[in-house]
Amino acid sequence: MAKVESSMARVILEPHAQFDLTAHSRASSIRSLALATLPHARRHRAAVLYVGTHSGTLFSLSVDTDDGDGAPNDAVLRKLSFLRSVSVSDAAVECISVIEECGKVLLLSDGALFLVDSELSNRASKLSFSKGVSLVTRRRFRNGESEGVGLGLGSGLGSGLGLFQKLRLNSVKEGEMQSEGGCVFALVVGKRLIIAELVLGNRNGKSERDDGGGGSLVVLKEIQCVDGVVSAMVWLNDSIVVGTVNGYRLISCVTGQSSVIFSLPDVSRPPRLKLLHKEWRVLLLVDNVGVIVDAHGQPVGGSLVFRNGLDSVGEIGSYVVVVSDGKIELYHKRYGGCVQVLPFGGEGVGRCVVASEEDRDGKLVVVATATKVVCYQKLPSVEQIKDLLRKKNYKGAISLVEELELEGEMSKDLLSFVHAQVGFLLLFDLHFKEAVDHFLLSDTMQPSEVFPFIMRDPNRWSLLVPRNRYWGLHPPPAPLEDVIDDGLMTIQRASFLRKAGVETMVDNDLFLNPANRADLLKSAIKNISRYLEACREKDLAESVREGVDTLLMYLYRALNCVEDMERLASSTNWCVVEELEQMLEESGHLRTLAFLCASKGMSSKAVLIWRILARNYSSGLWKDPALENSTQDSRESLISGRAIAAAEASKILEESSDQELILEHLGWIADVSQVLAVKVLTSEKREIHLSPDEVVTTIDPQKVEILQRYLQWLIEDQDCNDTQLHTLYALSLAKSAIEVIEYENISENLNGENMETRSLAALKNSIFDIPVRERLQIFLQSSDLYDPEEVLYLIEGSELWLEKAILYRRLGQETLVLQILALKLEDSEAAEQYCAEIGRADAYMQLLEMYLDPQDGKDPMFTAAVRLLHNHGESLDPLQVLEKLSPDMPLQLASDTLLRMFRARVHHHRQGQIVHNLSRAVDIDARLSRLEERSRHVQIDDESLCDSCDARLGTKLFAMYPDDTVVCYKCYRRQGESVSVSGRNFKEDILFKPGCLVSR
């Protein structure tokens, strides 16, 4: 392979074969070249090279592209062999135009045009045309469109189709035969630009127009040329670009008008033009600068700056081929950079000529010196990439890949393949970050391909690894430690070789700045982890997912990334616990193992690990790596670690319906946090609730608040109606309340500071915000399902007087309730309210007796008695009140109250008499006239009294007899409806009608 002199070190062309014309006696120096791909009877299509010499001879050489079975193969170029030669004239062959579709070759020599068949099987025929032709070019169409069988008859000729058709018809005399296979050329004759059609075959047999059966030129149009000698010309669609010593102009072959593209400097080399078939544009050369223009003469893109002057210009793919001074230079059309330099003839070889295929995807270039022809083939893109990768030119390879992708010359799968190949090469060259970057750009690379770099074979996932060696440019996969060791050894070996003067392919960055093994291993693990993290987002098979997550955990462990390990373990993952269990246990990452077991539904094992951690925390045998760098002191870290272990275990148990598991671990969780224990017992997340009886039996008797909170949840939140649980809850609260009272009694002997400290500590450690006595009182009043006698038996000897009152009231012991409220608690308001609830007047009298005679050696409660008389004196019998009053009671305390009570009594009595008299004085006749009425209207107000007991009616239910007497409901029930207060029996002595109840 030829030496590459480009800084990019890219191989695009490689020599294929060469041919020396000096081996033929008639050979002379080469003047012109033309390369064409022609139909072949046996080989389908064959590449043929036409060589025109200074002596006027035309040679044809074959470029063998056959793979032996008749099918063309661009990758196999075997030899350049001589075919035939034909003598054209005594002067040099200046220009060769191959007409591939009709198998003809048009030649320009000594100002005349000659025609010969492509096989060179007949002599060259001189066309009858004006002499002095200096340039000839053929009309070209984009994308290989056919020119048709003559101007005006083909399709796709553009805007000048109508005019060309007329020109052609006018130029052919009536009766002349039109042969097929014609094409249109532009010729420069002196200062004229002639557009002519080549018509093949004999028209009329006349000698003056006979060309020996070859063909003839029919002039279609003449255009007056611009000033200056035309030395270059290209015909593109309906425009002709010409170059003169003055500059470049664009001439319309339809209208004949011309316009300046740009002018040349006064001192410059002759103009040169090259049609770029791939982009369908024209390259205009000004000295060593190339400007690309479109079919309208408008510049497109940037300019190409060539290194030196040039002799000839060709094209191959995306590159411009320039030859001069025995060297070939390739420039990228888009970027303008020189990508390859090839020497082929040495310095001082003289003028060089280049020819390339006119196919936009051509793969051959031929370069000729005076006597030698050298053929080059375009290296396939894959081979170019391989060559760059072998030379460790990764940037050049990636640049080429991006270039090919942009130009649409590389499929998506091949692009992914190349990214993967580059990634593996970079990985073995210890560039781990860049390697993973390329892995991530590959859509076809499988995550399992990196498994062998993490875990040695054989392992669970060995069969998942594809046995793909790619292009064989890198060694087989090996663990990262081995890759790094081998890489470092290669660098060390290269150091010795370079000292000995031997060039090596080791990366200069690593050679000049070698990294230590630990840093390289850390970088490798971090970047492979990054790749596996990205793979987790892909849709992978289950077995591959297991390998990705499990090996990712291995990598996290290697870097001791505790947070990453726990995040992966606690999230939805595909880790295989059996592969990781031993490693995590031996390395002390029990938290990660616990998270992992929990995520896999292994609740029993996960909770057991948290229990072990909590125990090790308390014993100081284990420290959480996450807390090792914490600023907390050892005691705070201990408490925090145990709390975290209990909290994580409780999360698992809250969702578990395994009652045996829950009750097994409830105890140690309760030792750490009673709140967490309660959350476990009262969780709504589990599908099946726990058995209350089993839970109550399991709860530690010392953890009273846990039991109380659990029972409270059952009763209040779950609407439990079990009388045993209600009674158990009441008894538990009562016991706690008794203990609180006893504790308070003991604390009375302590000073205030200690007492306050203990109270705050008790409040802080309690899981309830409401004191136990208040909770007990609320429950005793709200529930109807507990056994009051059993609770009362428990608190009988305690100081829980209010609770006893609630229980006695539940049992209907009114006297005992009043005694507790009035005498024990001395709560007059509560006692009076209870009397109101009883609803009997004797209740107030009973309460008054208790106030006046408390017994048990207590002094009378005169103030409470006066309060009772003041609030409810009108409900009491004054005579009974006077009888009950103690002689020791100070008169001044009760005088005002008694006086007001008597006055109210007299007022009520008089008011009742007035109402009674008025009702009896009603006109008897009016009453008889309304006898048929079924009801009467009697005015009863707040001061109305019962005619039987003189009690104020107020808003109570009362009854009215036919004789207009009004009694309260109690007296009515006692008296009956037949006999009124006056003693009259209405069944025997009917007055008007039976009495009726009247509700006010």
Q: Supply the DSSP string of 107-122, one letter for each residue.
A: EEETTEEEEEETT--S
Q: What is the DSSP letter of 149?
A: T
Distance CA(353)–CA(565), nearest Å, equals 68
Matching residue, tokens 């070889």:
349
Distance CA(401)–CA(32), nearest Å, equals 36
Q: How many C-beta atoms surround the C-beta of residue 62 within 10 A?
A: 19
Calculate the alpha carbon distances from 274 to 105, 321, 322 in Å: 20, 11, 11
Cβ within 8 Å of residue 419, ≥6 positions away? 401, 438, 439, 441, 442, 445
Tokens of 178: 């039109």
Distance CA(734)–CA(609), nearest Å, equals 39
Average per-residue pLDDT for the chain: 80
What's the average model confidence in pLDDT over 933-962? 71
Residue-wise pLDDT for 412-444, tens only, equals 888 899 999 999 999 998 999 999 999 999 999
Per-residue pLDDT band at 183 (split at 50, 70, 90): confident
Lowest mean pLDDT among 194-208, 239-253, 288-302, 605-619: 194-208
Burial class (CB in 10 A: 0-12, 13-18, 19+), 721: exposed
Lowest mean pLDDT among 420-424, 791-795, 889-893: 889-893
Identify the helix (H) or strand (E) that includes residue 546: helix 542-559
Q: How far is CA 211 from the centre of its chain?
A: 76
Identify the helix (H) or strand (E) that includes residue 15: strand 13-20
What's the average model confidence in pLDDT over 295-319? 86
According to DSSP H, which parts of 673-722 are helical? 674-681, 692-698, 704-712
Q: What is the DSSP letter of 749?
A: T
Q: Which of 340-354, 464-478, 745-759, 781-795 has the highest mean pLDDT?
A: 781-795
Calculate the alpha carbon distances from 597 to 568, 577, 623, 959 in Å: 12, 7, 20, 80
Distance CA(949)–CA(486), nearest Å, equals 119
Q: Which of 116-120, 387-391, 434-438 has the highest mean pLDDT?
A: 434-438
Q: How many CA atoms lie within 13 A of 650 on its CB side?
A: 26
According to DSSP H, which parts of 391-539 are helical? 394-406, 412-428, 432-441, 480-499, 508-512, 517-535
Lowest mean pLDDT among 131-145, 400-414, 611-625: 611-625
Distance CA(459)–CA(453), nearest Å, equals 12
Residue 664 has pLDDT above 50, yes or no: yes
Distance CA(794)–CA(800), nearest Å, equals 10
Per-residue pLDDT band at 776 (split at 50, 70, 90): very high
Contact 125, 116 (CB under 8 A): yes
Residue 964 has pLDDT above 90, yes or no: no
Helices 590-599 and 634-655: angle between axes, nearest 10 degrees:
10
Tokens of 563: 């947070």
Q: Which of 35-44, 367-376, 902-911 has the highest mean pLDDT?
A: 367-376
Per-residue pLDDT band at 503 (split at 50, 70, 90): low
What's the average model confidence in pLDDT over 913-939? 48
SS3 letters for 866-921? HHHHHHHHHHCCHHHHHHHCCCCCCHHHHHHHHHHHHHHHHHHHHHHHHHHHHHHC
Q: Which residues of 335-355 are buried (b: 16+ CB within 10 A; e: fewer)?
A: ebebbbbbebbeeebeebbbb
Distance CA(198)–CA(185), nearest Å, equals 7
Q: Residue 374 — left, alpha, or beta (φ > 0 → left; ψ -120 to 50 → alpha)?
A: beta
What's the average model confidence in pLDDT over 316-342? 88
Residue 765 has pLDDT above 70, yes or no: no
Distance CA(764)–CA(628), nearest Å, equals 28
Residue 790 has pLDDT above 90, yes or no: yes
Question: Of 77, 21, 86, which is closest to residue 57 (Cα–Cα)?
Answer: 86
Per-residue pLDDT band at 354 (split at 50, 70, 90): very high
Tokens of 633: 């002191």
Question: Of 168, 158, 162, which is closest to residue 237 (Cα–Cα)?
Answer: 158
Distance CA(146)–CA(581), nearest Å, equals 74
Q: Could you tell me the maximum CA-CA distance found in the chain, to the nearest angstrom?
A: 175
pLDDT score at 24: 65
Instruction: Provide the whole-model pTM.
Output: 0.69
Per-residue pLDDT band at 862 (split at 50, 70, 90): confident
Contact 203, 177 (CB under 8 A): yes
Strand partners for 34: 50
Q: Is the peptide bond before 994 cis (omega within 30 degrees of 0)?
A: no
Strand partners for 28: none
Distance CA(642)–CA(151), nearest Å, equals 96
Contact 347, 361 (CB under 8 A): no
pLDDT score at 646: 94
Residue 148 has pLDDT above 70, yes or no: no
Question: Of 296, 270, 271, which is closest to residue 284 (Cα–Cα)?
Answer: 271
Distance CA(238)–CA(140), nearest Å, equals 9
Residue 751 has pLDDT above 60, yes or no: no
Greater pLDDT, 301 or 829: 829
pLDDT score at 625: 54
Q: Which of 175-189, 294-308, 726-740 has the highest mean pLDDT?
A: 726-740
Contact 51, 33 (CB under 8 A): yes
What's the average model confidence in pLDDT over 300-326? 86
Q: How many C-beta atoms surround the C-beta of residue 181 within 10 A?
A: 16
Per-residue pLDDT band at 27 (split at 50, 70, 90): low
Greater pLDDT, 210 or 313: 313
pLDDT score at 511: 64
pLDDT score at 640: 78
Identify the helix (H) or strand (E) that includes residue 723: helix 723-747
Residue-wise pLDDT for 337-348, tens only, equals 888 888 887 777
Per-residue pLDDT band at 923 (split at 50, 70, 90): very low
Residue-wise pLDDT for 233-274, tens only, equals 999 888 899 998 888 999 988 888 888 998 888 777 888 899
Tokens of 65: 């592209």
Tokens of 310: 């040039």
For the chain, percent of residues with pLDDT exceeding 70: 77
Cβ within 8 Å of residue 342, ≥6 positions away? 2, 4, 5, 13, 15, 327, 328, 329, 330, 376
Distance CA(636)–CA(620), nearest Å, equals 12
Distance CA(314)–CA(304), nearest Å, equals 14
Per-residue pLDDT band at 871 (split at 50, 70, 90): confident
Domains of the chain: residue spans and CATH: 1-65+76-127+344-379 (no CATH), 135-142+182-200+215-305 (2.130.10.10), 938-999 (2.10.110)
Residue-wise pLDDT for 602-616, tens only, equals 999 999 999 999 888
Greater pLDDT, 2 or 627: 627
Lowest mean pLDDT among 359-363, 595-599, 799-803: 359-363
Contact 552, 511 (CB under 8 A): no
Residue 637 has pLDDT above 80, yes or no: no
Residue-wise pLDDT for 554-572, tens only, equals 999 999 999 999 999 999 9
pLDDT score at 677: 95
pLDDT score at 161: 43
Calculate the alpha carbon distances from 619 to 108, 611, 676 in Å: 105, 12, 21
Contact 109, 91 (CB under 8 A): yes
Residue-wise pLDDT for 208-244, tens only, equals 333 445 678 888 889 887 677 888 999 988 889 999 8
Distance CA(393)–CA(840), nearest Å, equals 111
Question: Of 706, 700, 705, which is closest to residue 677 (Cα–Cα)?
Answer: 706
Q: How far is CA 821 from the centre of its chain?
A: 70
What is the amino acid identity at position 398? I
Per-residue pLDDT band at 681 (split at 50, 70, 90): very high
Strand partners for 322: 313, 329
pLDDT score at 337: 84
Residue 155 has pLDDT above 50, yes or no: no
